[in-house]
Amino acid sequence: MAKSIKKTVAKAEKKKPVARPKIKKSFLVALPKGIAVSATVNVVFKSGIGQVTAVLFRNGVLINMQSISTDGNIQFSQVQSHDSISINGVCSGDAVITISVPTNPGTPDTFSKEIIVAGYIIL
Amino acid sequence: MKQLLLLFIFINIIVTNYAQTKPNLPLSADSLATGNYKDVLASFFQLAFNKFTSKEKELKFTSNPFAVMAKLDTGLLRSAQYYKYRHLRDLNFSFSAKLDSSYRFNGFSSGLKYALINRRDETVSRAFIQNILDDSRVKVIITLNQALDQFISTLGNDTATQNRIQKQKVGFTRGTMTYNQLDETLRKKIIQIAKDSNLVSLEQTIEANPQFNLKKTAADIYDEIKTKINNKSLWTVGISDTTYNDHFIFSNIVLSSEFVKGIDTMKSKDIELNLKAAVQLLDDSLKAGRDLKRSIFSFEPGFNFVWKTKNTLKSFFEFKLSGSYYHTFSTLYNAEKRDSLTLNGTIRIRIYDDIWIPLEIKYDPRSGNVFGFLNVRANFTALGKMAKAFAN
């Protein structure tokens, strides 16, 4: 019984490995099409505190996600046209969000004592 | 008649000021605080015209050092500075001019108050931020927003469609469009996201209410969690003094302590426990000269019943029922009793967003006397306006 199991295992090990498809450029959903530039999401909290998470999507793929809980910048090293930046969080006072590249809708965008739910397309 | 005219002028000045500078007052969490709480600790500025129907009137200004500092340096409103100086926001100072029945100066009064415990200031509460982010309904909203942005990023090959969907999505998140006003493509996508991400509550909400407004829903959740913060403890200690009208010598010193805590919250009604204790040092008129040898201890436990608007959760009517116990330590005046009790009622009516008219009534069960005081109090949330000006 033990011998037959050993044989089966040995046969399986001898089998040729399944050929894996080579990764082609066209398979990459996040392939840069245009010019990639760096973008800064500047968050300023006033008259209160808050927390914000910014997520960069390209062709439906999550490229980068960063959170901030004080005033400061979230840096995306490479963004390109038609990318989407999703911004979510909360502010107990005012929050002013400014993206350093042109977006739709435009920034700065101000939120006041609310749950922050926003999204911007890179133009 | 003269008092009513003054009251009208006082309210008119404030209302006109607001009409010029705040055409559309947004619902702010600060405006959800009760009038009783605002009288215990002012967040920004409070202007009060107290007892204007009685012989001894008072015009009082209350603020905190941070509000004054921020008025001079708006950079202090930045979150790091705002958080750093949070304890200054727990300190109140007040100045008031006492007036006689002919509105002549009758003494000067000043006071300091510090909140030893203040769990009601959500603007500096990390727990409040975390409570919101941990709320399951907020997680659903954030998941939906991220999934929609993810979907929009896939439409890059068709710029016109991407912009059209983005415009609709922006309208949806900003509350200018309800669910049933969206394009069918986007409506189907939202339902698909709800199914794929197992957001059962979102699917059910949309089915039950096709006029689902994301912005309003988020605002309601924020206010609901803020209301819970409004019920937390506030304990203050303070000292105030009054001078004579002809000499800058204290005629009255009051050491006080006040505690406020919400004990029951319903959708449109709240109940607050309010405890107040004070020791008052006064001039003993039985003795020659001016001194502070007459001392009276008072304790006032009470409940403040709050009626709120159903949708905006703003308090519009409050009734505080309390009892006062007085004990005189020093020599008694003629026919004066060492211990006395009164039954008190205070009605607060909100006539404008930040303007309250409290009517205080005291009833002495022994003598059968009833005393009434009519006041006007305006709370200025000027920091919000300053922050907007600073942002611009």
- Using CB atoms, pick whichever of B79, B153, B391 lies closest to residue A48: B79
What are the contacts of B70-74 at 24+ separation with CB within 8 A? B70/B383, B70/B386, B71/B382, B71/B386, B74/B386, B74/B387, B74/B389, B74/B390
B128 to chain A: which residues are within 8 Å by CB? 92
A59 to chain B: which residues are within 8 Å by CB? 153-154, 156
Give the separation between CA A51 and CA B167, rounded to whole angstroms.
25
Specify the pLDDT at position B2. Answer: 53
Identify whether residues B242 and B376 lie together within a single domain.
Answer: yes
User: What SS3 state is found at B153?
Assistant: helix
Cβ-proximal residues to B283 (8 Å cutoff; 6+ apart), any chain: B251, B252, B290, B291, B292, B293, B294
- Using CB atoms, pick whichever of A47, A57, A92 lies closest to residue B384: A47
If you compute the radius of gyration of chain B from its CA atoms, what whole number of angstroms results? 26
> Is residue B318 in some structural domain?
yes
Domain count, chain B: 2
Specify the pLDDT at position B371. Answer: 76
B79 to chain A: which residues are within 8 Å by CB? 44-46, 48-50, 70-71, 93
Is the confidence metric ipTM above 0.85 for this complex?
A: no
If you compute the radius of gyration of chain A from its CA atoms, what whole number of angstroms results? 23
Specify the pLDDT at position B381. Answer: 56
What percent of chain A is predicted at pLDDT more than 90? 67
B155 and A82 within 8 Å at the Cβ level: the answer is yes
**B141 interfaces chain A, CB cutoff of 8 Å:** yes
Specify the pLDDT at position B29. Answer: 38
What topology does CATH give the domain A35-122? Lipoxygenase-1 (2.60.60)
How far, in Å, are B374, B375, B377 from residue B4 at the CA level?
11, 11, 15
- Using CB atoms, pick whichever of A33, A49, A58 lies closest to residue B126: A49
Specify the pLDDT at position B388. Answer: 52
Range of the domain at B40: 2-120+234-391
Give the model confidence (pLDDT) of B169-183 as tens digits: 999 999 999 999 999
Q: What's the pTM value of the predicted model, to 2 decimals?
A: 0.74
Give the model confidence (pLDDT) of A43-95 as tens digits: 999 999 999 999 999 999 999 999 999 999 999 999 999 999 999 999 999 99
B79 and A46 within 8 Å at the Cβ level: the answer is yes
**B66 interfaces chain A, CB cutoff of 8 Å:** no
Give the separation between CA B69 and CA B75, rounded to whole angstroms.
10
What is the β-pairing status of strands A37-46 and B250-265?
unpaired
What is the β-pairing status of strands A84-99 and A50-58?
antiparallel
- Using CB atoms, pick whichever of A55, A60, A88 lies closest to residue B154: A60
Band of pLDDT at residue A8, cut at 50, 70 and 90? low
Specify the pLDDT at position B304. Answer: 93
Specify the pLDDT at position B263. Answer: 86
Q: Are B317 and B349 in contact (CB under 8 A)?
A: yes
Look at residues B202, B223, B244 and tell me which one is the last residue of a structural domain: B223
Query: B328 to chain A, minimum CA–CA distance in Å?
Result: 45
Identify whether residues B80 and B148 lie together within a single domain.
Answer: no
Identify whether residues B102 and B242 lie together within a single domain.
Answer: yes
**A63 interfaces chain B, CB cutoff of 8 Å:** no
A117 and B219 within 8 Å at the Cβ level: the answer is no
Specify the pLDDT at position B18. Answer: 39
Residue ranges for chain B with pLDDT beneath 70:
1-33, 265-268, 380-392
Specify the pLDDT at position A17. Answer: 54
Average pLDDT over residues A95-120: 94
Q: Find the CATH number of the domain harbouring B23.
A: 2.40.160.40
Look at residues B179, B194, B223 and tell me which one is the last residue of a structural domain: B223
Specify the pLDDT at position A74. Answer: 95
Look at residues B175, B193, B223 and tell me which one is the last residue of a structural domain: B223
Identify whether residues B211 and B82 lie together within a single domain.
Answer: no
Specify the pLDDT at position B217. Answer: 92
